[in-house]
Structure 1
Amino acid sequence: MSNKRAKAHSLLFMFMFLFVQNFSVSQVDEDLELLLSFKSSINDPFGFLSNWNSSTPLCMWNGITCNSFSRVKVIDLVEKNISGIISSSIFHLVEIETINLSNNQFSGEIHSDLVSSVSLRYFNLSNNHLTGEVPKCSISLKILDLSDNLLSGKISPQIGVCSNLQELDLGGNNLVGRIPSAISNISKLQILTLACNKLTGQIPRALSKMKSLKWISFGNNNFSGEIPQELVDLVSLSYLDFADNNLSGQIPSSLGNLTNLQHLLLFSNKLTGLLPRSIFDLKRLIELDLGDNYLFGEIPKLIIKLRSLEILYLFFNNFTGKIPNGLASLPRLHVIDLASNSLVGEIPSLICNITSIVLIVLSDNNLSGIIPPCLGNISKSLAVLDLWKNSVHGPIPETFSQDCGLRILNFHGNKLEGSLPQSLANCRNLGMVDIGNNKLNSTFPYWLDTLPELQVLGLRSNKLRGVLNSSKTIHRFPKLRILDLANNEFTGPLPEGIIKNMKAMINLKEQKSSFQYMHGIYYYPYYINLTVKGIYIELYEILTTFASIDLSNNNFHGEIPSVIGKLSSLRGLNLSHNSLSGHIPTSMGNLTSLEWLDLSSNMFTGQIPNELIDMTFLTFLNLSNNQLTGPIPQGKQFNTFENGSYEGNLALCGFPLLKACNNDGRKQSPSFLKEADDSETKISFGWKVVLIGYGCGLIFGVVVGYVTFKNGEPKWFVTLYRVKYHRKGRRCS
């Protein structure tokens, strides 16, 4: 009897095993079909999914991870350059827990079947081109990252159904409207990122119900109103970003009760008032960024209590008084940016005690005194030293050490005297040096041409003198892209040896970095005062392909060396107000990227070379006050220049001047004046229309300009022509 039972159990077990096995195989086949359906709707240019076929075991497919039952658990196709539409089939994978398709080229809307993914825990489609509204999510979903796409519309109140979400990132989209109060129903949420959208309204007070929140990022939106006092209830919060909005009022003192807060980012709002004393009770605070607001008063001495502080941004406010000595007592501090306030007094020498310091920005204040000599002793860690536009005087310290780590040195607009210290040659990483608009009174510092990383050199408006001779350096200024020596007392011929070795000004447009900007550490930008198209501006965010030379207002003489035609990537060339002579070299026609050319107030003779017509990007030309003769070239950009480009050259003729030329190119003699007068009569009506247009435009421009500046500084103007924002971190596309 027992044998019969054993045989029966055995048969039952075998039957069940075969049933489970067949059932499991059918489920695996189902997963395979669903994934092949997903593959059929996308493009895979690099063939990463080439082994997605029925002859390869499913669990060996690229980007696929299975569980112990051979069911698909993970799809990981990060940064594979895949494009196309995301098929709804992947949301029907019964055991799927993770889908990561970030950093690809997917487009279209996210299918509503996402809600049917009962096992899905992690869903990442960031950095694609997805459109549509935020989809409803599965009840089991814990992490949803749809950042950096093209999602639009409002955030639906249905988002509150996602009650198990722990991380939600919808940043970098085009979402509009208000944050629905229903979002507070996601009680387990720890990370909430809505930055870089177009959201409006006030910050919901209902956020205070989300006790688990550790991270809030609402920067780069259009939120208004005041910062809610109720945020004090979020005791677990470590990261708070409300930057780049329209928040107003005072910083609530209740923020001082967020004892776990490490990052407080409120820059670029309309906050006002004094800094609340409670802020300095945040013992764990690492980053404090309150820049670009309307805060006022002195920087409190209580700042000494922030022992964990590493990054301090207080730029573009109305702070007064002196730089607090207490900053020197913060052992971890490596960024100080107090630019564009009304600080007075001397730069405290105690600042040299901060051995970890990397960035010191004190520009656009009212600081006086001398530069502390000890700053050279901390130059190993110091990468940015910016004292632009103060009243610092005396010599530049000679103490830059052998292991100097400086990348940006900006002393523009002070009262510094003497010479540029040769110890700066120890700073091999220097990419920018701007000592313009000071009182330096030495010869040109030839040792600068040995700096291998130097891209920007500004020494304009000093009292530098002497002849720019060639040095013994074989590869001079290998990366120099901006050279500004205007308004000095240099003499002799133009430095042909320097010009022909500026390799970085040749074929910059062929580099892959065409749309990148010059910057130093912490994305601190290179910026410099330049004369661009006849206007003196502060150029901010300089493209790596930008190249210009300004040697104007000196005493250079002789001819322009023809080698200048090799600098094919030059955007601007200003040689005005010197004593240069001879012909304009035809090789300048090779400067096809040139946008402005100023050769005015020299002694050039001969004709304007027809080769200059090839400068199709030229929008500003000034050849006035020379001794040029013959016809003005016609065609392309030359048809857009006005009389002012040529005035003071009595022997020039042709459009736009009213002096016509003979067929042989000479200015017409008096015997042809009647014919010229007849020509003028024929076009007189056209010139009247032009003059009327200029007059109306001038009046309109003056009125609009007055009204605009009377009612506040236009942001577009500030962004272009001032150093308005020292920005870092996440940038909105």
Structure 2
Amino acid sequence: MLNKTAKSHSLFSMFMFLLVLNFSLSQVDELKLLLSFKSSINDPSGFLSNWNPPTPLCLWHGISCNNFSRVKVIDLAEKNISGTISSSVFHLSKMDTINLSKNKLSGEISSELISSSSLRYLNLSHNYLTGVISNCSILLEILDLEDNMFSGKIPPQIGVCSNLKVLNLGGNYLVGRIPSSISNIRSLQILILAANDLIGQIPCALSKMKTLKRIHLGYNNLSGEIPQELVDIVSLNYLDLAFNNLSGQIPTSLGNLSNLQYLYLFNNKLTGLLPRSISGLKKLIELDLSQNYLFGEIPELISELQSLEILHLFSNDFTGKIPNSLASLPRLQVVSFLSNSLTGEIPSSICNISSIEVLDLADNYLSGIIPPCLGNFSKYLTILDLQMNSFHGTILEMFGEDCRLRNLNFNDNKLQGSLPRSLANCRNLVMMDIGGNKLNGTFPYWLETLPELQVLVLRSNKLRGVLQSYKTIHPFPKLRILDLANNEFTGPLPKGIIKNMKAIMNLSEQQSSLQYMHDRYYTYNLSLTVKGFYIELPLLTTFTSMDLSNNNFHGEIPNVIGKLSSLRGLNLSHNSLNGHIPMSMGNLTSLEWLDLSSNKLTGQIPDQLKDMTFLAFLNLSYNQLTGPIPQGKQFSTFENGSYKGNLALCDFPLSKSCNNNGRKQSSPSFLKEADDSETKISFGWKVVLTGYGCGLIVGVIIGYVTFRNGEPKWFVTLYGVKYHRKGRRCSRN
């Protein structure tokens, strides 16, 4: 019995030895596979520095093991690694999860990569990987290859990946149609194919996927109508079909999607009425139907969407009035009805939406007065855009001390009176555009105190008076766009304001990259005169300009303007400015357009302006400039129109050449039209008077001798002819 027990113990020990030996050999194999993977990538941050044999495998950075010390997880997301992905890593037999997302990995992905037998989670999104998707692991549940460079078609074989719960192939270069076989993945919950080049219709077979919760097919080239069958997927809570070429009407049974929270159909070619069944979307949080061809009235039934927070219906052809029922939506944060055909007044009931952050009713046919409650009805309101309507009356003192507005746009209405001083309470204002109205009064100097104001547009009003800074120590500390064109301002240019525009002096130091100004659900747009054209453009954080044209400013252009080194556009045209163009303007090396036309500027064009290497538009026409036009650099690109109306300018591109000393050879009549200061420099009055005196004495002596000896015939003839011609000219006049 003892021998039998000993023998049994010996066999057990042998079994355990073989198991440990096999286990150790497996770890050695895994070690080799991981080191092979490491050798194929670059690791500038040194995250993989402990991937060396002395360190136990399960303690390597980014590695997790199972209970048997076998590698289960590789997580190297956002580690700044680059290079290629060695297929060796997919031979790890117990591998469950690989996350290499948000790195700089490149190269073609092999079929081995997705065919690992044990892999359940694979995330290679946000890299530079290429290739054609051809297969996937049978057990794979999450496949995330978003934002790479995969191309080709989605293969029909994708339907055999029966365990997939998440399929994310968005942001690649996939083409062709969505294969109907994708509907065979009956367990799929999230389908993301957005931002590719997919074409054709949306497969009706998607309705078979009863577990689908999210569908992302936006930003493709899909066409046809929205399948009626799609609304049978009652589990859907997110549907994105935006930025395609979908046409036809919105399905009438849309309300069947009772769990839907997010619906994005914007930027398509949808037409027809907004279906009444939309009232069935009780859980809807965001609704974006903008940029389509929808028409008719906005239904009052929208009030039944009690969970609605974001409502975008802009750029359609909705008519009628703004529905009063909006006031019954307690969570509404964003209302954008921009660019429709809405009429009537803004209902005062809208002021009951205390949660609202963005109210954009621009570019409609709205009229009446602006309800006073709009200035202070929501402590969250940051955007109030009512531009391009027909509002009239005055802007009342409606902005309270808790004003949080960042953008106030009343441009292109019929508003009158002066700006309310209560606007000074809006300490967060970044942009204020009240141009294109009938405002009167003087410049609202109290706006100087607004610490965040970057854009101030008061163009095309009836503002008057002298423009000057008042008691503020540092006026307009962040102002970078000032447009006061087409008003009735007088006096000298506002030197006090110009010298304090610190944001335009060192903008490049404050902004390291070009970014569009936008809030969460609103992009700032601005209409300005740029290079001679009045255009609308999205506002860049680095955009700077000053437009004081079409006023009655006089005096000289101050030298301090040369400190605005980040200025990109300057328009001082159609004023009464005189004196020379300051040489300090040559410091405006970022300037792209300069318009000084229709003033009374004199002297030469400074050579320093040649340092404006970005200058693409120049207009110096209709002044009294003299001398040669600077040559070379950007000045070789400007045509005659930049200089017309300056009779004393010469050299290219004009046909008039200059003489050797830089002055044009002129006739007496031409010189008479030249500026007085230039005449002083060229001749000197002492020399002229001396010559005139000597000539007069000689002439008197010669005349006395001549007439004493008898009236000469040549004198009578010459005098008679001149007198006769003068008489004809007078009679003709």
Q: So what's the TM-score if we normalise by structure 2?
A: 0.89
Match of residue 625, structure 1, among 619, 622, 626: 622
Matched, 1:527 2:525: yes
Instruction: Provide, for residues 686-714 of structure 1, a one-character-per-residue CA deviation record: whole Å limited to 9, x for no partner.
Output: xxxxxxxxxxxxxxxxxxxxxxxxxxxxx
Matched, 1:663 2:660: yes
Give the whole-Å Cα distance in 2 for the aligned partners of 1:10 and 1:446.
98
**Kept in 1: contact 2:165–2:189 (CA 8 A):** yes
May I ask how many residue pairs the two structures share in their alignment? 669
Give the whole-Å Cα distance in 1 for the aligned partners of 2:512 and 2:269.
35
Give the whole-Å Cα distance in 2 for the aligned partners of 1:517 and 1:10.
76
Superposition pairs for residues 633-672 of structure 1, below 5 Å? 633-669=630-666
Residue 570 of structure 1: SS of its match in structure 2? coil
Superposition pairs for residues 74-113 of structure 1, below 5 Å? 74-113=73-112
Give the whole-Å Cα distance in 2 for the aligned partners of 1:157 and 1:668.
83
Q: CA deviation at 1:135?
A: 4.2
CA RMSD across the alignment: 1.5
Instruction: State the one-letter code of the partner of 1:631.
Output: P
**Kept in 2: contact 1:659–1:668 (CA 8 A):** no
**Kept in 1: contact 2:365–2:390 (CA 8 A):** yes
Matched, 1:566 2:545: no
**Kept in 1: contact 2:171–2:196 (CA 8 A):** yes
**Kept in 1: contact 2:511–2:541 (CA 8 A):** no
Match of 2:463 in 1: 464
Give the whole-Å Cα distance in 2 for the aligned partners of 1:26 and 1:560.
84
Instruction: Provide, for residues 64-100 of structure 1, a one-character-per-residue CA deviation record: whole Å limited to 9, x for no partner.
Output: 1111111121111121211111111111111211111
Instruction: State the one-letter code of the partner of 1:353.
Output: N
Instruction: State the one-letter code of the partner of 1:11.
Output: S
Which one has a bigger Cα radius of gyration? 2
Give the whole-Å Cα distance in 2 for the aligned partners of 1:227 and 1:520.
31
Matched, 1:580 2:577: yes
**Kept in 1: contact 2:134–2:157 (CA 8 A):** no
Q: CA deviation at 1:49?
A: 1.2
Matched, 1:313 2:312: yes
Q: CA deviation at 1:583?
A: 0.9
Instruction: State the one-letter code of the partner of 1:244.
Output: F
Q: CA deviation at 1:473?
A: 2.3
Instruction: State the one-letter code of the partner of 2:529.
Output: T
Match of 2:430 in 1: 431
Superposition pairs for residues 674-685 of structure 1, below 5 Å? none
By relative contact order (CA 8 Å, sep 6+), the higher-ranking structure is 1
Q: CA deviation at 1:581?
A: 1.1
Give the whole-Å Cα distance in 2 for the aligned partners of 1:561 and 1:12.
102
| Larger CA deviation: 28-37 vs 649-658 | 28-37
Superposition pairs for residues 392-541 of structure 1, below 5 Å? 392-511=391-510, 513-522=512-521, 524-539=522-537, 541=538
Instruction: Provide, for residues 129-186 of structure 1, a one-character-per-residue CA deviation record: whole Å limited to 9, x for no partner.
Output: 1122224211111111111112111111121121111111111111111111111111
Residue 70 of structure 1: SS of its match in structure 2? coil
Q: CA deviation at 1:15?
A: 2.6
Matched, 1:59 2:54: no
Give the whole-Å Cα distance in 2 for the aligned partners of 1:419 and 1:4.
112
Give the whole-Å Cα distance in 1 for the aligned partners of 2:89 and 2:21.
23
Q: CA deviation at 1:392?
A: 0.8
Q: So what's the TM-score if we normalise by structure 1?
A: 0.89
| Larger CA deviation: 394-403 vs 278-287 | 394-403
Match of 1:687 in 2: none
Match of 1:41 in 2: 40
Q: CA deviation at 1:476?
A: 2.3
Match of 1:142 in 2: 141
Residue 618 of structure 2: SS of its match in structure 1? strand
Give the whole-Å Cα distance in 2 for the aligned partners of 1:568 and 1:198.
44
Q: CA deviation at 1:12?
A: 2.9
Instruction: Give the 3 Å change call, closer, same or farther, for CA 487–512 of structure 1 in structure 2.
Output: closer
Instruction: State the one-letter code of the partner of 1:255.
Output: L
Superposition pairs for residues 118-129 of structure 1, below 5 Å? 118-129=117-128
**Structure 2 gaps, min length 5:** 671-733
Match of 1:178 in 2: 177
Give the whole-Å Cα distance in 1 for the aligned partners of 2:421 and 2:51.
64
Instruction: Provide, for residues 418-454 of structure 1, a one-character-per-residue CA deviation record: whole Å limited to 9, x for no partner.
Output: 2222222222221111111011112212222222221
**Kept in 2: contact 1:110–1:135 (CA 8 A):** no
Match of 1:730 in 2: none
Residue 639 of structure 1: SS of its match in structure 2? helix
Instruction: Provide, for residues 386-412 of structure 1, a one-character-per-residue CA deviation record: whole Å limited to 9, x for no partner.
Output: 101000111223122222111111111
Q: CA deviation at 1:5?
A: 3.5
Instruction: State the one-letter code of the partner of 1:537.
Output: I
| Larger CA deviation: 661-670 vs 91-100 | 661-670
Instruction: State the one-letter code of the partner of 2:523.
Output: P
Superposition pairs for residues 188-203 of structure 1, below 5 Å? 188-203=187-202
**Kept in 1: contact 2:592–2:615 (CA 8 A):** yes
Q: CA deviation at 1:474?
A: 2.6
**Kept in 2: contact 1:139–1:164 (CA 8 A):** yes
Give the whole-Å Cα distance in 2 for the aligned partners of 1:173 and 1:508.
36
Q: CA deviation at 1:10?
A: 3.0
**Kept in 2: contact 1:379–1:406 (CA 8 A):** no
Match of residue 612, structure 1, among 609, 617, 635: 609
Matched, 1:543 2:544: no
**Structure 1 gaps, min length 5:** 674-733
Q: CA deviation at 1:326?
A: 0.2
Matched, 1:358 2:357: yes
Give the whole-Å Cα distance in 1 for the aligned partners of 2:301 and 2:504.
50
| Larger CA deviation: 646-655 vs 437-446 | 437-446
Q: CA deviation at 1:236?
A: 0.4
| Larger CA deviation: 228-237 vs 110-119 | 110-119
Give the whole-Å Cα distance in 2 for the aligned partners of 1:203 and 1:211.
16
Q: CA deviation at 1:14?
A: 2.8
Instruction: State the one-letter code of the partner of 2:389.
Output: N
Residue 333 of structure 1: SS of its match in structure 2? coil
Q: CA deviation at 1:475?
A: 2.6
Q: CA deviation at 1:268?
A: 0.6
